[in-house]
Amino acid sequence: MRSHLRLIALCSAALFIPLLFPLCIGRVFTKDDLAAMHLPFRYLYREALHGGDSFLWTPALRSGLYLHGEGEAGFAHPLHLLLYRWLPLGPAFNLEIISSYIAMLAGTGLLLLRLGLASEAAWFGAMVFAFSGFNLFNLMHVNHIATVAHVPWVLLGAYVLLTSTERRGRAWAFAGVALVVGSQLLVGNPQYMWFTLVALGYMTLCLLYTGAASSRVPLLLGALMLGALIGAVQLLPTLDFVQESTRITWSPDQSLSFSLAPLNLVQLWSPFAFRFRVYAPPSEAFIVHEFIVYNGAFCTVALAWLAMRWRQQTRRGLLTALLLFAAVSLVLAFGRHGGLYVWLAQLPGLRNFRAPARHLVLFQLALSGIAAVVFEDLVGLVRRGEKTEIRRLWPLAIPVALSVTITAVAAAFAQSSWAAVRDVPLSGVLRAAPWSGLIVGMAVLVAMAARAVRWSVPVLIVFAACDQGLWGYSYAYRWGPLQTVAALAASAEVPPNAHRGDLISPMTGGGAVNLPLLRGLRLATGYFGLETSSVLDPADPMTHRIAGIAWRPNGTTWVPVADSMPRARLVSMAQSSGNIKADVHAIDISRVALVDRPIAGLSDSSAERGSVRIVSDRPGSIVLETTAAGRQLLVLTERFHGGWRATEDERGRETMRVYGDYLGCIVEPGHHRVAFTFAPESARQGLRASLAGVALTLVVTTFLWPLRIRGTARGQDRNTTA
């Protein structure tokens, strides 16, 4: 047993090496969203922390963005505050990624131990899940994986809370559930909170079915509500941000985009039957990581093992629950193809999500639990020297036959007109056969273990680790070379004469669109998780002038934007418009502002326009000095949000939308100091709720904690002495 544990620990450590490698050589992963979004966001976050600025708002994206509300970087999480405040950007980024996999491995192992599995089986299952196909293929979704890393910890805490007979254990579990749920919300991905609730709800129903006290359920619900309070400093800004995004008007078809095609189930037996590993419509096929069903050859063969030894299983209840959970998760992942999620996607909140295929993380969590139980059964057979009759091993031939058949069929039709017409990208035999060989090899090792061949178990452990590592890291390392942060910044396409702080319209989209942020430039558009809605067309040259864009692309070169508006200006004419997008082309934007409601009392249009001097221009804080002969409208090229607060000589002023998207306020005649501060109510109330959540969690945990009564303790001491 100890030798198996040591080997599992060694294999798990080896699987961390590709994650540690960039940290050791001073580089970072750059694949997909890592360079396109996550690293630039964390650069802005670190710059704000080091500059003493607010990280709630950034002027560097979309002419201004509630970046904390967007949520992709989890700015309020204590770990992130610590990493990005005290470490260089590259090491902090690497450690953030690594920490999620460590937490996932530890949490899954402890959960499986609590479910009663032997240590070696529990940690084998933990290795299978932490380095599962879904988790490694989604390495570029940093906050997704961080949220997933909390799932086993939430389930562990809930299990103890619902089943423990010790009051102290329940108190610890209550506090643990509240704090872990709060931490999970602070990471900033609500969709994976839904997955957590699905898993938690299913486990709770299973425990109630098997006899857990229903009186504990209110305690669990209380812990979840306190967790929501703790995470409110992120949750409320996210809800605020969603209201300003295009997600709020999504159609059912958009909500069901990236549904898992059932044909992808062939991955379980032939991982490379499809040329790009997965089958998806052409418009979605480029996002391979959303459709990964394969979770290692051992998980596939384990299903055949259960068919062979179901009657001998001592954990049939647990296995039944896991198999049913895997099936439900698959149906949810099918999205529009499964029916169930079509109905769920109509519910408030869920309609704002996309990619139901992401339910595959729950499917692979269930498969990892099944793998742990099967591994325990295998080791038990070998340890007892119990040999399974050869004729009873026939179910192990099923995945082998399926793998060989599917690989052969795929190779035969790979270049056919049938595959071309139907957009089915099949692999040739040289691409598909090696991965089918893994299925065959694993089936052979499991058969040898069934025959009590002792060396087959350690070989199986190493084989499983190599299988998952090659499958996941071959994708994570492809198309995204390791680079230093400096080299990544140097690769950004920027105007040769641009200065730090200039607002530009990006030259390219995709993975390079946000890289100019690493050079200190600001972007009029940019790439982020939730697209913000706009009144003006971002591609309209008139919008470029209104936004104050300094440079725009013209083919493969950069050209300055003529007559671009200054950062701040005063105008004495404001027209109310019901169609701002069209009306901007009928006015002189240097003299006239368009607003969504009439403004009374502005100075005569013939009066001389006043002047504006920028005193300070920081993220979430803009201070100006205005001088005007009459009452005028102050217009900024900063994007409007209801969270902006304005003061004139420390007296509050109302902010307003100008040109539909930009920030402005009325200033009075004379010389004044005008300050704009981004202080949204969602962040303020969220912080208060989080502090209240932490305090209430402490109070309730103290109440649940068993108190030692002095008199009782003395009586016990006397009895012991006697």
What is the per-residue pLDDT across 86-126, written as a single tens digit (0 to 9) for each? 999 999 999 999 999 999 999 999 999 999 999 999 999 99
pLDDT of the residue at 6: 96
Asked if the structure places residue 138 within a domain, the reply is no
- pLDDT at 562 exceeding the cut of 70: yes
d(CA 663, CA 644): 8
d(CA 47, CA 50): 5
- pLDDT at 288 exceeding the cut of 50: yes
Residues 30 and 488 sit within 8 Å (Cβ to Cβ): yes
Per-position DSSP letters for 141-158, written without gaps between them: -HHHHHHHHHHHHHHHHH
As a whole number, the mean pLDDT across the chain is 92
Residue 216's identity, in one-letter code, is R
Tokens, residue 262: 């059932």
Same domain, 330 and 416: yes
Tokens, residue 603: 């100075």
Residues 620 and 642 sit within 8 Å (Cβ to Cβ): no
Per-position DSSP letters for 359-376, written without gaps between them: GHHHHHHHHHHHHHHHHH
Range of the domain at 415: 261-274+285-452
Residues 240 and 234 sit within 8 Å (Cβ to Cβ): no
DSSP state of 517: G
CA 470, 474, 478 angle in degrees (round to 5)?
170
Same domain, 578 and 556: no
Same domain, 548 and 589: no
pLDDT of the residue at 431: 87
Which of these three, 429, 452, 475, is where a domain ends? 452
CA 249, 253, 259 angle in degrees (round to 5)?
125
- pLDDT at 38 exceeding the cut of 60: yes
Same domain, 398 and 438: yes
Q: E-assigned strands of 51-110?
A: none
**pLDDT confidence tier of residue 604, bands split at 50, 70 and 90:** low
Same domain, 289 and 432: yes
Which ranges in 539-653 belong to alpha helices (H)? 541-547, 580-583
Same domain, 580 and 642: yes
**Alpha carbon distance, N-terminus to C-terminus of the chain:** 44
CA 458, 463, 466 angle in degrees (round to 5)?
130
- Greatest CA separation for the chain: 103
DSSP state of 23: H
Number of structural domains, the chain? 3
Residue of 573, 566, 571 lying closest to 545 (CA atoms): 566
Same domain, 522 and 381: no
| pTM, two decimal places | 0.94
For 529-547, write each residue's pLDDT tens digit. Answer: 888 889 999 999 999 999 9
Same domain, 516 and 617: no
Asked if the structure places residue 316 within a domain, the reply is yes
Half-sphere exposure of 676 (CA within 13 A, CB side): 33
CATH number of domain containing 640: 2.60.420
- Angle between helix 360-384 and helix 190-209 axes, rounded to 10 deg: 50
Residues 129 and 108 sit within 8 Å (Cβ to Cβ): yes
d(CA 32, CA 203): 34
pLDDT of the residue at 528: 85
**pLDDT confidence tier of residue 31, bands split at 50, 70 and 90:** confident
**pLDDT confidence tier of residue 711, bands split at 50, 70 and 90:** very low
Decide the pairing of beta strands 632-639 and 644-648.
unpaired
**pLDDT confidence tier of residue 713, bands split at 50, 70 and 90:** very low
What share of residues in the chain are helix, strand, coil (percent, to 5)?
Answer: 60, 10, 30
Same domain, 543 and 573: no
**Least confident residue range of 74-83, 509-518, 625-634:** 509-518
- pLDDT at 2 exceeding the cut of 90: no
pLDDT of the residue at 717: 39
**pLDDT confidence tier of residue 607, bands split at 50, 70 and 90:** low
Asked if the structure places residue 101 within a domain, the reply is no
Same domain, 418 and 306: yes
d(CA 484, CA 475): 20
- H or E segment and range at residue 445: helix 429-450
Task: State mean pLDDT over 243-250.
Answer: 84
Residue 538 neighbours by CB under 8 Å, 6+ apart: 524, 525
Asked if the structure places residue 500 within a domain, the reply is yes
Half-sphere exposure of 646 (CA within 13 A, CB side): 23
**pLDDT confidence tier of residue 395, bands split at 50, 70 and 90:** very high
Residues 55 and 45 sit within 8 Å (Cβ to Cβ): yes
Look at 414 and 271; give whichever has higher pLDDT: 271
Residues 640 and 655 sit within 8 Å (Cβ to Cβ): yes
Same domain, 508 and 404: no
Q: What percent of the chain has pLDDT over 70?
A: 96
d(CA 247, CA 209): 38
Which of these three, 560, 583, 605, is where a domain ends? 560
Neighbouring CB atoms inside 10 A of 228's CB total 18
- pLDDT at 719 exceeding the cut of 70: no
d(CA 463, CA 447): 14
d(CA 294, CA 277): 9
Which ranges in 244-339 belong to alpha helices (H)? 252-255, 297-309, 316-334
Asked if the structure places residue 29 within a domain, the reply is no
Neighbouring CB atoms inside 10 A of 60's CB total 25
pLDDT of the residue at 689: 97
Q: How far is CA 576 from CA 122, 386, 583, 603, in A?
A: 66, 86, 10, 16
Asked if the structure places residue 165 within a domain, the reply is no
Q: With the C-alpha atoms ordered 108, 113, 119, 124, is the resulting torsion angle positive or negative?
A: negative
Asked if the structure places residue 380 within a domain, the reply is yes
Tokens, residue 399: 């995945």
Q: What is the CA radius of gyration of the chain?
A: 29
Residue 144 neighbours by CB under 8 Å, 6+ apart: 138, 189, 192, 358
Residues 675 and 617 sit within 8 Å (Cβ to Cβ): no
Same domain, 621 and 663: yes
Chain position carrying tokens 């742990």:
372
Asked if the structure places residue 168 within a domain, the reply is no
Which of these three, 540, 560, 580, is where a domain ends? 560
